[in-house]
Chain A
Amino acid sequence: MTTRAKSLSVLVGVTLALGTALLLAAATGGAASKPLQLGNGNIAVLSRATAANDALPAAVTAMPAASWISNASASRLVLNAPDYRAWVAPGTGGFLCLAVQVTAEGGSGITCAPRKTLQTGPIYFSSINASGGVDVVGLVDDAVHSVRAAGNAARLANNAFVLRNMTGTSLTLGTSGGSRTVNLGSLTPDR
């Protein structure tokens, strides 16, 4: 074998080794670090039979942002607590909308995000309560069966959760296939 042929075979060998190493890394470490997809953006509560209190309140439908809701008659009440009431409704452009009434403020909020948002986290609306704590009301995919923040479990029913006096800024969403932690960013005024 000539010197040139030896060099070529060494080069081919090194290239093969590097390629194998890269493939192995992608198959093991790369795949392991990929965040869990929480579901497919399905919200079962939208398919349940209509109840009398599913209708969005006038305070919500009167808001200019109500135009983001594509079918108000398809809304469903997902949370009915003394401090918060919440509804889900289909939004325009494939969005999902979460409408929240905040009893303490006598106010109403609407937030709309693409349905695919639920594959990576909740669609949420947070408030600062009377004691200065942070309460989070959110909407999650059918696949999510638990929502926790710093060990504090949220009440989860009808694809919706409420977490009062949340500690920290991260939520951990649990599914049968594993969990995913989502950082909501700061939930209090910066100043």
Chain B
Amino acid sequence: MTRLLPRFGRRIAWRPRWLIAVGVVVVALFVVPVALAGARIYWYQTNIPSHTSESDFIYHNHTYNQMYWGPGATWPGYLYMLDYQDGKVHYFHSFNGNAAYSDAGTYFNTPLCENNDGTQHFVDHCNTQW
């Protein structure tokens, strides 16, 4: 017991440093996904049924969202961004053909692309960038 007390004492003494370290890690986990630039294809060469949204369901400071049906495509579609936390729509655009939209950037966004045609269609890819 007497041997344990000094160790216990050292643990007490180290606790603030560990707390700081843990805090730094937590902050890093929070900030890094938002801050790092990157790109991600979140839907790749698959059919999208009519009026079905596809997303990566990852939040980032998204600034770019693209829907590429493929060469020759004329179908209508949607590109939009949802607030990951409250579901609010940051923007919503419809179009016909291959399309992309780059906004000013807001935090905690999840990008979506959607087939707005009455039938299922093959989509080459949807991708996002931040």
Contact = CB atoms under 8 A, between A and B. Distances in A.
Contacts of B80: 189
B46 interface: no
B101 interface: yes
A18 interface: no
Nearest to A108: B102
Interface string A58-71: 01001111001000
B51 A65 contact: no
Interface residues of A, number: 35
A186 interface: yes
B104 A105 contact: yes
B122 interface: no
Contacts of B71: 93
Given A64-B129, A123-B96, A125-B93, A109 B101 contact: yes
Nearest to A113: B97
Interface residues of B, number: 32
B74 A117 contact: yes
B95 A126 contact: yes
B109 interface: no
A154 to B, nearest CB: 16
A117 B76 CA distance: 12
A121 B95 CA distance: 12
A43 to B, nearest CB: 15
Contacts, number: 101
B92 to A, nearest CB: 5
Interface in B70-101: 71-74, 76, 78-80, 89, 91-101
B91 A125 contact: no
A145 B74 CA distance: 23
A65 B116 CA distance: 20
A128 interface: yes
Interface of B: 51, 53, 64, 66, 71-74, 76, 78-80, 89, 91-104, 114, 116-118, 129
Interface of A: 59, 62-65, 68, 93, 95, 102, 105-114, 117, 121-128, 184-190
14 contacts: A65-B99, A95-B98, A106-B103, A106-B104, A107-B101, A107-B103, A107-B104, A110-B101, A113-B98, A117-B74, A123-B96, A126-B95, A128-B92, A185-B94
Which are the 6 A-B pairs with shortest beta-carbon distances? A113-B97, A65-B100, A106-B104, A107-B103, A111-B95, A111-B99
